[in-house]
A and B are shown apart, each in its own frame.
Chain A
Amino acid sequence: MQVINYISNIAMPLILLIILMHGLIEKQKVFDLFLEGASEGIKITLRIFPTLIGLFVAISMLKDSGIIDFITNLLSPGLDLINFPKEIMPLALLRPISGNASIAIATNIMKTFGVDSNLGIIAATLMGATETTIYTIAVYTSSVKITKTRFVLIAGLLADIAGILTSVAVCRFLSNGFS
């Protein structure tokens, strides 16, 4: 467990170090480049701001009206069978469809059950390990005006399911290490 935590902890500083060293070796003005990108970051965040407000409201309404509990309870016999935490199901269903909606619902899960709780960690891992598959396929195929996508959607969703199940399994397995 300690090794895994160590790798997790060193990954971010190490990448920072490599990129900065690379910039210095190429004799670039690294701080100017940094500032350029950072102000770009403000624009990106502001751009998703209205989307997130709309979605956070919708997601917290779904949650507090009780409808999410209703749906997950409907699905729970099947989920119990494969030992899948039903609280994660809404996130798993939305993840391939909308990136921002899944940010909203993942944040909600981390808040409700605790960010360092098992469910919170599963939600975070799932978010990091999967993409908005359906959206990505739409962007890539429509850019070249192709309508026959063959097996891509099935393959992408299979990968997502594998990623989701692995997230749950890995987090359960490592749960002793997180506390």
Chain B
Amino acid sequence: MLNMLWPTFIIGSIFYGIFCGDLNKLNTSIMSGAQDAITTCLTLLGSMCLWSGVMSIAEKTKFINNISKIISPIVNFLFPELKENKKIKKEISMNMVANILGLGNSATPLGLKAMDSLQKINKNKKELSDSMAMLILLNTASLQLIPTTVIAIRSSLGSQNPTNIIVPVWIATLVAAIVGVTSVKLFIKLGRKKK
């Protein structure tokens, strides 16, 4: 994706700069952009390490396992297809909990493992099953309790109160997730009617 976007951005800006924009400004922005990246990365480094550290405690203990049990009613509601398939349900809950905790690194492997198990019981191997669609949607929904990266960026830019976006983020994520889940459920229903 970036192999297309990146050159488009640069070539587009150069053409626009030459014909209708400000070439002086463009020149300074080429150098300052690279510098900004360094300052952002360096300030991100601290909080990235801190959170990876804390989260590795959550990963190595039974923390994720224990929390997964709490969300099992939600999983039952979202994945009615799976009924008694406890193994897949457990994989899905662990993926959700890892997402909620912001454990991007372990969420993806857990999610892909669940995808794999779902594919095994999928009737049409070329098409996503209902449960697979729901699982993907949940992973695009950014159900994160602490948006660490944004908080780190905010504090690197000298915000007075970097964490005060947490509740607004929760509200927006929740609305997005509800809209997403509802539309998946609706699409599934509509698809059944057609058949």
Residues of A within 8 A of B (CB): 4-5, 7-9, 11-12, 15-16, 19-20, 22-23, 26, 28, 30, 33-42, 44-45, 48-49, 51-67, 70, 97-98, 100-101, 103-104, 106-108, 110-111, 115-116, 121, 124-137, 139-141, 143-144, 146-152, 154-156, 158-160, 162-164, 166-167, 170-171, 174, 177-178
**Which one of A19, A61, A131, A144 lies within 8 Å of B9 (CB-CB)?**
A61
Bound form: Cα–Cα A63–B158 in Å: 22
Residue of A nearest to B8 (CB): A58
Compute how far the CA of A25 lies from the CA of B25 in the bound complex, rounded to whole angstroms: 57
Chain A nearest CB: distance from B57 CB in Å?
5
- A125, chain B: closest CB distance, angstroms: 5
Chain A residues within an 8 Å CB radius of B45: 41-42, 45
Interface string of B133-144 (1 = CB under 8 A from A): 101110111101
Stretch at the interface among B71-79, B82-90, B110-118: B110-118
CB distance from B152 to the nearest CB of A (A): 10
Cβ of A37 and Cβ of B56 under 8 Å apart? yes
B2, B13, B63, B165: the one contacting A121 at CB < 8 Å is B165
A98 to B45, CA, bound (A): 20
Q: Is the CB of A19 within 8 A of B26?
A: no
Cβ of B150: which chain A residues have Cβ within 8 Å of it? 106, 124-125, 127-128
Could you say which residues of chain A place their CB within 8 Å of the CB of B124?
A: 148
Q: How far is the CB of A51 from chain B (nearest CB, A)?
A: 7
Assess the A62–B179 pair: CB atoms within 8 A.
Answer: no
Contact B61 A34 (CB under 8 A): no
Contact A57 B33 (CB under 8 A): yes
List chain A residues, Cβ under 8 A from B111: 140
Q: Tell me if A52 and B37 are in contact (CB < 8 A).
A: yes
Number of A-B residue pairs having CB atoms within 8 Å of each other in the complex: 356
CA–CA, A89 and B115, complex, Å: 33
Could you name 21 residue pairs across A and B whose Cβ atoms are closer than 8 Å?
Answer: A8-B167, A9-B161, A9-B164, A15-B146, A19-B58, A23-B63, A54-B2, A56-B37, A58-B9, A64-B17, A67-B16, A135-B1, A140-B139, A144-B118, A146-B119, A150-B128, A154-B183, A156-B180, A163-B173, A166-B171, A170-B168
Give a binary string over B18-32; 1 marks a CB under 8 Å from any A CB, 0 the rest: 001110011011101
- B70 CB within 8 Å of chain A: no
A133 (CB) vs chain B CBs: closest residue: B140
Prevailing SS type, chain B contact patch: helix
Asked whether, in the complex, the Cβ of A128 is within 8 Å of the Cβ of B144, the reply is: yes
Q: Is the contact region of chain A dominated by helix, strand, or loop, or is it mixed?
A: helix
Contacts A107-B40, A143-B115, A152-B133; is A174 near B126 (CB within 8 Å)?
Answer: no
Complex alpha-carbon distance, A130 and B147, angstroms = 10
Contact B53–A34 (Cβ < 8 Å): yes
Q: Is B135 touching A65 in the complex (CB atoms < 8 A)?
A: no
The chain B residue with its CB closest to the CB of A156 is: B140
- Least CB distance from A81 to B in Å reads 21
Please tell me if the beta carbons of A170 and B180 are within 8 angstroms of each other in the complex.
no
User: In the complex, given contacts A61-B29, A148-B126, A151-B183, what are 16 additional A-B residue pairs having Cβ atoms less than 8 angstroms apart?
Assistant: A9-B163, A34-B54, A37-B53, A45-B41, A61-B26, A64-B17, A115-B157, A127-B153, A129-B172, A131-B140, A133-B140, A140-B112, A143-B112, A158-B183, A162-B175, A178-B161
Quick check: B133 and A136 within 8 Å, CB to CB?
no
Within 94-136 of B, Cβ neighbours of A (below 8 Å) are at 101, 105, 108, 111-112, 115-116, 118-119, 124-128, 132-133, 135-136
